[in-house]
A and B are shown apart, each in its own frame.
Chain A
């Protein structure tokens, strides 16, 4: 998917003045509140017209001085933060609303397959008022996907959900978007969501374009600004029980976790400050995980340093104070032992079994 945007839009005291051209299938738009994310979504979907400029999707002009393709002909789907399900229709009718309006030749997605992928079977006869927050978002996602959009805008689809629900929905998002091959633009102000959902991030600031970076770089930037500590997001697989604990495979390493999941593949979270570094291998330690790593980079962040470590083909970040770096004599290429307690990991979600076509999980492989 290729997206070219060069537009201006004034709304009261706020002006969106943005130019960018980008390619990718898992793009993110990141920015604080008031940076113009929602305005951009409305312009892309055609729900608002720019004051001037041009918007092109895959070379086709959606909006310029001469014309503006009406939203119902753009085939750009939107999953809104508040779901906006049709309250006068049941779940089935909601799901099929866009599908029924597609010409038969363009109905590429089988509703039954989607209903199965999103686990909506049990909800089909229900009214939308009886759905929980998470169920509503799944129905809204299904409804947008069934309309076979050329581009799907996910406008803060996880905002307002608690962590439990959020991590329940993320795997569904991945599975559906990958399985049906839908390019997405994921809009959020959460660094973690950007890392879990996108592989390129467009930055918005004060109504303007502030650059395009990788999600991991975004996480580093936000660490540098002291906004939040760095979090390692690690995809683990092949669990096997070890006493009360559970061993997971992470690249060539084996990690021992207290947290477990029934899924064969999981996404786990580890705070960088919970990774303790030793110069020499400790003879005995309470930490269940001792990984031998090589320092691949040192990123100073005020009085702290983010130490990038390579271990078993995977990247791990530890966050320590500057004094510790000096004392351990750390430099690029140094070999250290990273100690991580089994309790420091938190499994965010289990990935559903992979079915169907295509190279799945297009987002960045971190950790």
Chain B
């Protein structure tokens, strides 16, 4: 058999973590991008900087801070345990790590898309009786599909490859929190693990490539939709 059950579990978990992370991050990213891209408020650059920080920080550092914030003894630890939510050494931890590390890429892509929307179109919508919240859904969202897709692709790919923050927050527990990069790392540390590592590397390439192709296809359709 090509993959052993443990490998399949690793692949399935990776896809699950990347998908959930992307689904969680896209709506938040869209509204954050709309907020940052369309409004002018004091402190905008600070918010922008903070949200983009994970892009330039070593993922391990991000993971460490997440541990400090969300760990059992962390700032939000008691709150999370009261709510019965377990993040540390849990697949949800891998999702949180992926979201935080991948978010800046998503945000930047969507924001670039939103900022390239013809401002006159937004003005026209306002003078035609649309409130800002209405415009966000009736103009900004349909005009940004392409940017959202690009951002989601980057986010998904980044999640598939996330290592540093994930290992800090979720650990590398086979069957529970071990994603493809963590498993590859494990394989290479085992005698005779090269073949296993290579197989997962190829899976990783195939997954990323598939995501890229799907995203290209959807982006083309989105482009047709905004240029009717």
Contacts and interface: CB of A to CB of B under 8 A. Distances in A.
Interface string B35-75: 00000000000000000000000000000000000000000
Nearest to B135: A72
B126 A71 contact: yes
B143 interface: yes
Interface in B122-147: 123-131, 134, 138-139, 142-143
A128 B56 CA distance: 42
A47 B123 contact: yes
Interface in A77-104: 77-78, 80, 82, 84-90, 97-98, 101-102
A45 interface: yes
Nearest to B141: A88
A97 B139 CA distance: 11
B121 interface: yes
A87 B123 contact: no
Nearest to A89: B228
Contact of A84 (B120, B129, B142, B228): B120
Nearest to A82: B120
B123 A84 contact: yes
Given A78-B123, A80-B120, A82-B120, A72 B228 contact: no
Contact of A101 (B128, B139, B143, B225): B128
B124 A80 contact: yes
A76 B139 CA distance: 20
A72 B128 CA distance: 6
Given A72-B131, A101-B134, A128-B228, A88 B118 contact: no
A47 B134 contact: no
Nearest to A146: B128
Contact of B127 (A77, A82, A89, A129): A77
B190 interface: no
Nearest to B228: A127
Contact of A98 (B129, B225, B226, B227): B129
B228 A101 contact: no
Interface in A30-71: 45-47, 70-71
Nearest to A152: B127
A87 B129 contact: no
A127 B130 contact: no
Given A127-B227, A129-B227, A84 B124 contact: yes
A136 interface: no
The interface residues of chain B, by DSSP majority, are classed as helix
A288 interface: no
Interface string B87-131: 000000000000000000000000000000010110111111111
A86 B128 CA distance: 12
Interface residues of B, number: 21
Contact of B143 (A46, A78, A88): A88
A97 B126 CA distance: 11
A78 B127 contact: yes
Contact of A97 (B118, B125, B142, B226): B125
A127 B228 CA distance: 4
B128 A143 contact: yes
Nearest to A96: B128
A77 B127 CA distance: 6
B99 to A, nearest CB: 29
A272 interface: no
A98 B227 CA distance: 20
A72 B118 contact: no
A147 interface: yes
Given A98-B129, A101-B129, A101-B130, A87 B124 contact: no
Contact of B128 (A87, A97, A128): A97
A72 B123 CA distance: 10
Interface in A89-135: 89-90, 97-98, 101-102, 127-129
A255 interface: no
Contacts of B127: 45-47, 71-72, 74, 76-78, 144, 147
Nearest to B143: A88
Nearest to B145: A88
A78 B226 CA distance: 23
Interface of B: 118, 120-121, 123-131, 134, 138-139, 142-143, 225-228
Interface of A: 45-47, 70-78, 80, 82, 84-90, 97-98, 101-102, 127-129, 140, 143-144, 147
22 contacts: A47-B126, A71-B123, A71-B127, A72-B127, A72-B129, A73-B129, A77-B127, A77-B128, A84-B118, A84-B124, A86-B139, A87-B118, A87-B121, A87-B226, A88-B142, A89-B142, A97-B130, A101-B134, A102-B129, A127-B228, A143-B128, A147-B128
Given A76-B127, A84-B118, A86-B139, 5 more contacts: A46-B127, A86-B124, A87-B121, A101-B130, A127-B227
